[in-house]
Amino acid sequence: MTEKKLGYNIRIKAEKVNVEIKNEYLELAERADDAGIYYLAFPEFFARFDRNRTHVVPYMAAIAARTEHAKLGTDILEVPLLHPKHIADIGASLDILSEGRFILGVGVGFVPSEYENFGIPWKERGRRLDESLDIIKKLWTEPAIYDYRGKFFTLRNICSPPAVQKPHPPIWVGGRSDAALRRTAQYGNEWAPCIWYEKTPGIPEEKWDIKERVEKLKEYCKKFGRELVLGREPKGPKEVGYNQRLMVNIKPNREKALEEVRHFWGFRGGRTEDCSLESALRYAAVGNTEDVIEKLEEVYKTGAYLVTFYPLSTDSKSQWERVEKEVIPSL
């Protein structure tokens, strides 16, 4: 029987950020935890123009102190923009503060301007991520790195705090490319793609075929002596799991939901380099509760045991209330 777990993007998406909004989102996280939400997602985009986006690390630490059960994950962290020692220390610290609930969600991103702002070549992003994951796993599982000489990093006599989870906090890999699938099989514990992005800059538009991607991931897992498991959470380092994200807006009818989605898209700038509204709606669950549950069930049928809701709204509180009262009881 397929497991059906639900996640929620608890990241601040309000039109302004202040103490009142901060407290509202902390309370929302507590309610989600009490309601049995399995996973709370925290996206991070370091170099984008958005003054209302708080930094993910202190935000996750605050919510770790206010919750007891839900997993807390970076969803995703653009690892190539940071030093792997920094990430290993942050991850271990969050795992300690949350008493073993931290998940490191990683990816390369899809906006070249972010790399330009950090002075890191866009073409190096995949190789940097691979090398960083190798270092992070070593720092989490070994007493220290005494001599590491890679293409991008040289480390000597360096260590990180011991995380609570053993052998290390789970690593979830985002992305749909062959490189992302290979990276999942080689370094990750789960594949966690976002289904709504159709196009990556510099890459021709592609059709999203989840069945084909799952089969490809199975091949990579076999190559690295591992097994892809569908419909349930993976167990042990030999198994690789699969979960999904779903953009949602729940209103009494689709027209009202679309109206709020358009407002949200206008608020965030409608950036075409990220994803067009039309592209997002092609994969999103927008409409009344029945519409959203139907779409949710479709995603579970692809083999994902966990689906994480990303509300297309600047009023995440009202969206959460509908999820809490109308969606969770259906699972």
pLDDT at residue 199, rounded to an integer = 52
Backbone angles phi, psi at 322, to 5 degrees: -70, -40
Mean pLDDT of 128-134: 98
Taking CA atoms, 125 is separated from 102, 174, 257, in Å, by: 24, 13, 36
pLDDT at residue 113, rounded to an integer = 87
Say yes or no to pLDDT of 84 above 50: yes
- Looking up tokens 């990579």 gives 220
**String of DSSP letters for 163-182:** PSSSS---EEE---SHHHHH
pLDDT at residue 191, rounded to an integer = 98
Each residue of 229-266: pLDDT tens digit? 999 999 999 999 999 999 999 999 999 999 999 888 77
Cα distance from N-terminal residue to C-terminal residue, the chain: 13
| CATH class belonging to 5-330 | alpha beta
Check: CB of residue 211 under 8 Å from CB of residue 302. Answer: yes
pLDDT at residue 277, rounded to an integer = 77
Question: Please, which pLDDT band fits residue 110 given cuts at 50, 70 and 90?
Answer: confident
The SS3 call for residue 255 is: helix
pLDDT at residue 2, rounded to an integer = 76
Domain ranges of the chain: 5-330
How far, in Å, CA of 249 to CA of 251, rounded?
A: 7
Query: pTM of the entire structure?
Result: 0.93
Average pLDDT of the residues of the chain:
90
Each residue of 267-309: pLDDT tens digit? 655 444 456 777 778 889 999 999 999 999 999 999 999 999 9
